[in-house]
Structure 1
């Protein structure tokens, strides 16, 4: 490994004439501008703390309260009912001596006004928190809205009338409630009923009843105690035990990927695409730092905020390996990105003299890296493979070889970077003689690459391919997919529609030719795990959510039921199914599980495959759709099953007690793991005028060795993109075969519902909340 280039402000040597001090003007200038930028950020953070600290009031409202109190005093009225006089009596003796009587009264009135203002802020925030705790609106049907919901919407709009910052709502969001043991166990037994035989179900019911009457209530008391003082009783344990304590590889098993536009590549120049992509990401980071992003909100024309805590660790964050658990390290700022190209690591400064480099300048610097002919140093080319394998060997290697000296400083440079960039020497995308196969290879490349040309520990890594196609790979522990999806939507839209390219496909802007060259910052591959992944990506174009909604069926429920039908045809039965639902209506909320394989869904699939009448099948489908939506709403509002049982299991481990029921529940495999990639910023994409600029979405690896991972994104009104994964080592699964079954299931259900007489269609259907998975 080679030591990274360090900007040095001065050098000195000992000579016979004394100490020879050599100052570097360029380095001092960089230090000066870096310091100025750092102070600007501190001032901005302090300003934002004040603004969000008093939300939903404003800092200027303090002046209004002071003027109002002073005005009433001037009119010889005491709005404090004697409190101002009491404050005046308790002023320090020095103030009594130095201030006149009128001055003491003014100071006392100022103190009272400030206390009154703070009390009003606390009252407003308490009212806002109560309003945000109301979730009944999600369960109401289309059509007439209840008077309670109407009043709630009006009050919420009044309290949220001021433009909020990204984190303005954080302290007003409600805490995630702890469900009762009885309710959770009842819903659990209902969820596994279609998967168990009568004797097995009877046995599981006995285990659940025994758990409830004995150990369960004891564990519940500890969990409620945690919920009283913890911001969220699930999230910290979920992050630690599900992600950070996992000792297996995070590549494929945990990390996930996001893809470029499906039909369009804005430029074929690799350096230019890198220039605009990096610029867009840094512009997004600036918005996060300044809290200029709007808190993501729900539908139904309300102002429902979602928790924004996950944005805090989006940039300048790395997961570092440990012996028993990993640690997420986050730095306040970073002025460079780490770049990998053909076995070499580079540090690319993205600021010069305190300003962000233009896209054209970043392109220029990237081109210098691409043109650098230097070979990798010994051990440098495959250094990234350490982040792809098991965590314990990576921890041991880090402790042995990267704990001091040049190696440590070089590793620090990679880990402290804003994010990681791979300049891939391959071409990817759909175009070519084999579009379907090319999409599959594109997905595999983003999921694992060559196993050593990504840095899987970074919060996210960007991949720029030789033909200008791009994508990302994201580490999962610090945040969930919607957060990265929000970032990626902004990046793609800013790249294509805001920054743009010149006629010769280069970035716009000028270049400062005096920019210093990027310098090298450097050191067992896991190919078996990567080679085992069977990825299949396909766009479904026969219809989309437009036709599904005309049937008065939830698009997501339609897809989930289709997945159950496809799995039944593929494997001849049903399985425990995981669908990700967000819980960001609550503070520091992350995800909850929707158990999509329900009694109603299984009844529909059996009826359809058993040759029941079309009318009966349609009736069962609508029951399954309504049941699925209800499960989803319950998960979103804190009444899910799996996170509660998971936390009870953690408590049992802390207490050193065993529960046969919890042990069996937590060991059940999710052979079908599903997730929808949300489109959250529709305003960034003009799909009507630019229909080719549609996203492929992203995907992940299978959760179970003998199961499937399915991710999908509903694009516009007429397309659904699917990502299917499995493992070649399992002879019972095949991603392409399952993809074909999904395609057929969607068509069969649409044909069934399209044949329904219009008079038989229900006039109203359940509302569909916008989902963040």
Structure 2
């Protein structure tokens, strides 16, 4: 049912009531593409690109035809870019999921005196998951509304309903995102529990009754005891899911030749989620090391095989208190993960653990271990490489409250600081990705805010190359121009008018029409524009936890940040094998830049106050005119 103006929705939003994602005007996208790339390529490369773009947009040319076909596609589909985007961003990507694709949410560190306490935590968590899933199944989740820029708009809720009903099936050339279909007589719902690199089926509904928390604990204790008594040399089949997607698809094809393996795979692929009961990692439990445990489990010698990366939700409960969620990213965005995990943590804090031991009406059947028949070829494929350089950094000098006091957008301010840090480390600017939600539209996922603006470049140069020669008033003017450019691009992106999805749609329509790929998409500038050496995302939380992920290119950085009132958590990642990156060096440059930007704002405020005392008309206006 459509939500009327001023009416509060009582249940889930009807995605059909939301507007369709618009197709931006071709002229606007091409002009913006040129503006975004002019300062990121050489003058010669740009001259060539401009000529190619002008040819593409000429009346009667390729651009006009592809735009027309894209508008036709918009009329026929709920969301013209969704399938193109999903395949381009995820399903066609052949890189391994851990580190390269799967983000994680790191919970506050827990203190467990022994394994029994960690199992109690796991039982309480599973109880919360089942409560949340019941709310999803009843379509009773309250509608999300946009916050930040253009706040108050209802958002598409469809991503939530994929949290526990999706599975990413590895393919030789392209993966498939499988949506589970409910049958007339569904089998009892189950969770897969990973323990000591083996997988166990935990039925959460037995004899038409959902297990209570006490029963869940009983079953988890049985699983832990069964795992203790297993041969340590059993194959760690979960490691196969951490390989490249084509390699895992090949291994899976070998596995399913045997009926035992087929049955085991079926149970995993149809489960609600995984709960991974991890051994102690044996490392100092810093935020950085807890993040690494979530991202890759510490490798095969640790908890790396205690995972199944194709499943969207894997809750990790480590006996040493390292807990969190690993998510397969293709079904939903980070904000959906945040909302779900915040619900679970609040549930666990607000709902006391219900572990009054009572005799069950009937003795619960023992959970069952999944069995595998492992051929020599499969044994040869088991392995994992550790290459991730992660630095979780809590910047404590100030948080979003200070930035707001400057009448600036915290997100835009932090994005400019990231540009300053990268320039300080590398002496150049690079294509930057910042995810922007387009959930205001039917089936909306994300588009890209291109944060590497010409205005940001002018500002960072004034703070580095012109550190002593450029006056503070000019630096402040350039900072405001960079903030405004970032904010304006953000508004374009969240209202469906950014360039990346549009260009992707034009490219894919050309392929659908079996046209020769237009030159605009084979041009070097287009390749550079899509090499996101700096991949960023704001993932704010109201609960004490943080999100992180790996870089998206071998010589790049992943930078996830969580702005809080008086501090900012940054999770910066890179690959150790790259000679061009170092997370610690980037973090140091980021800290320096944030402090310099604060000092600049404070000096500007003092100068403005002094000027106002002398002449009240001299007070600069908030949008950043010169002091």
TM-score by length of 2: 0.88
Equivalent position of 2:382 in the other structure: 525
Equivalent position of 2:475 in the other structure: 617
Tell me how far apart the structure 2 counterparts of residues 336 and 354 of structure 1 sit (CA, whole Å).
12
Matched position secondary structure for 1:704 = coil
Which residue of 224, 247, 258 corresponds with 1:393?
247
Deviation at 1:302, TM superposition (A): 6.6
Equivalent position of 1:482 in the other structure: 335
Tell me how far apart the structure 2 counterparts of residues 458 and 234 of structure 1 sit (CA, whole Å).
24
Equivalent position of 1:572 in the other structure: 427
Equivalent position of 1:305 in the other structure: 154
Matched position secondary structure for 1:527 = coil
Q: Within the alignment, does 1:723 sit opposite 2:571 as a pair?
A: yes
Tell me how far apart the structure 1 counterparts of residues 320 and 447 of structure 2 sit (CA, whole Å).
39
Tell me how far apart the structure 2 counterparts of residues 575 and 526 of structure 1 sit (CA, whole Å).
34
Counting only pairs closer than 5 Å after superposition, residues 455-534 of structure 1 correspond to structure 2 as: 455-495=308-348, 497-501=349-353, 508-513=355-360, 514-523=363-372, 524-528=381-385, 531-534=386-389
Equivalent position of 1:72 in the other structure: none
Deviation at 1:662, TM superposition (A): 1.4
Equivalent pair of 2:84/2:504 in contact (CA under 8 Å)? no
Matched position secondary structure for 1:755 = helix
Residues 293, 734 of structure 1: alpha-carbon distance in 2 compared, 3 angstrom cutoff = same
Equivalent position of 2:78 in the other structure: 231
Q: Within the alignment, does 1:186 sit opposite 2:40 as a pair?
A: no
Deviation at 1:762, TM superposition (A): 4.8
Deviation at 1:651, TM superposition (A): 1.5
Equivalent pair of 1:258/1:471 in contact (CA under 8 Å)? yes
Which residue of 551, 570, 584 corresponds with 1:702?
551
Tell me how far apart the structure 1 counterparts of residues 619 and 571 of structure 2 sit (CA, whole Å).
32
Deviation at 1:763, TM superposition (A): 5.0
Matched position secondary structure for 1:305 = coil
Equivalent pair of 1:499/1:508 in contact (CA under 8 Å)? no
Structure number with greater Rg is 1
Equivalent pair of 2:417/2:590 in contact (CA under 8 Å)? yes
Equivalent pair of 2:264/2:370 in contact (CA under 8 Å)? yes
Residues 678, 235 of structure 1: alpha-carbon distance in 2 compared, 3 angstrom cutoff = farther
Deviation at 1:366, TM superposition (A): 1.4
Instruction: Return 239-248 or 571-580, whichever deviates more.
Output: 239-248
Tell me how far apart the structure 2 counterparts of residues 294 and 761 of structure 1 sit (CA, whole Å).
45
Matched position secondary structure for 2:276 = strand
Equivalent position of 1:292 in the other structure: 140
Deviation at 1:526, TM superposition (A): 4.1
Deviation at 1:627, TM superposition (A): 1.2
Which residue of 498, 506, 511 corresponds with 1:648?
506
Tell me how far apart the structure 1 counterparts of residues 43 and 173 of structure 2 sit (CA, whole Å).
41
Tell me how far apart the structure 2 counterparts of residues 204 and 712 of structure 1 sit (CA, whole Å).
34
Tell me how far apart the structure 2 counterparts of residues 588 and 373 of structure 1 sit (CA, whole Å).
42
Equivalent position of 2:398 in the other structure: 543
Equivalent position of 1:177 in the other structure: 22
Q: Within the alignment, does 1:216 sit opposite 2:63 as a pair?
A: yes
Equivalent pair of 2:455/2:478 in contact (CA under 8 Å)? yes
Equivalent pair of 2:480/2:623 in contact (CA under 8 Å)? no
1:434-456 superposed Cα distances (whole Å, 9 cap, x missing partner): 66xx2222111111113422100
Tell me how far apart the structure 1 counterparts of residues 222 and 621 of structure 2 sit (CA, whole Å).
63
Tell me how far apart the structure 1 counterparts of residues 599 and 228 of structure 2 sit (CA, whole Å).
60
Which residue of 737, 741, 755 corresponds with 2:585?
737
Tell me how far apart the structure 2 counterparts of residues 350 and 511 of structure 1 sit (CA, whole Å).
17
Equivalent position of 1:260 in the other structure: 107
Deviation at 1:605, TM superposition (A): 0.9
Which residue of 287, 292, 303 corresponds with 1:444?
292
Tell me how far apart the structure 2 counterparts of residues 678 and 589 of structure 1 sit (CA, whole Å).
20
Deviation at 1:370, TM superposition (A): 1.7
Q: Between Structure 1 and Structure 2, which shows a larger proportion of helix residues? A: 1
1:163-211 superposed Cα distances (whole Å, 9 cap, x missing partner): 331133x111000111121110111111112212333322221121122
Tell me how far apart the structure 1 counterparts of residues 421 and 232 of structure 2 sit (CA, whole Å).
50
Matched position secondary structure for 1:742 = helix
Deviation at 1:364, TM superposition (A): 2.5
Instruction: Return 754-763 or 232-241, whichever deviates more.
Output: 754-763
1:521-563 superposed Cα distances (whole Å, 9 cap, x missing partner): 22433422xx111111111111100111111111111101110
Deviation at 1:423, TM superposition (A): 0.6
Residues 298, 521 of structure 1: alpha-carbon distance in 2 compared, 3 angstrom cutoff = same
Instruction: Return 196-205 or 405-414, whichever deviates more.
Output: 196-205
1:118-175 superposed Cα distances (whole Å, 9 cap, x missing partner): xxxxxxxxxx5xxxxxxxxxxxxxxxxxxxxxxxxxxx21xx24x331133x111000
Deviation at 1:619, TM superposition (A): 1.2
Which residue of 236, 240, 243 corresponds with 2:90?
243
Counting only pairs closer than 5 Å after superposition, residues 586-605 of structure 1 correspond to structure 2 as: 586-605=441-460
Q: Which runs of 5+ in 1 are unaligned?
A: 1-51, 57-127, 129-155, 502-506, 683-693, 767-773
Deviation at 1:398, TM superposition (A): 2.4
Matched position secondary structure for 2:174 = coil
Equivalent pair of 2:70/2:509 in contact (CA under 8 Å)? yes
Tell me how far apart the structure 1 counterparts of residues 265 and 328 of structure 2 sit (CA, whole Å).
18
Q: Within the alignment, does 1:408 sit opposite 2:275 as a pair?
A: no
Equivalent pair of 1:696/1:713 in contact (CA under 8 Å)? no
Tell me how far apart the structure 2 counterparts of residues 276 and 469 of structure 1 sit (CA, whole Å).
16
Equivalent position of 1:663 in the other structure: 522
Tell me how far apart the structure 1 counterparts of residues 70 and 600 of structure 2 sit (CA, whole Å).
47
Residues 250, 302 of structure 1: alpha-carbon distance in 2 compared, 3 angstrom cutoff = closer
Aligned-residue CA RMSD (Å): 2.3
Deviation at 1:580, TM superposition (A): 0.5
Tell me how far apart the structure 2 counterparts of residues 236 and 347 of structure 1 sit (CA, whole Å).
33
Q: Which runs of 5+ in 2 are unaligned?
A: 373-380, 613-617
Equivalent position of 2:615 in the other structure: none
Residues 422, 638 of structure 1: alpha-carbon distance in 2 compared, 3 angstrom cutoff = same
Tell me how far apart the structure 2 counterparts of residues 419 and 282 of structure 1 sit (CA, whole Å).
10
Residues 737, 302 of structure 1: alpha-carbon distance in 2 compared, 3 angstrom cutoff = closer
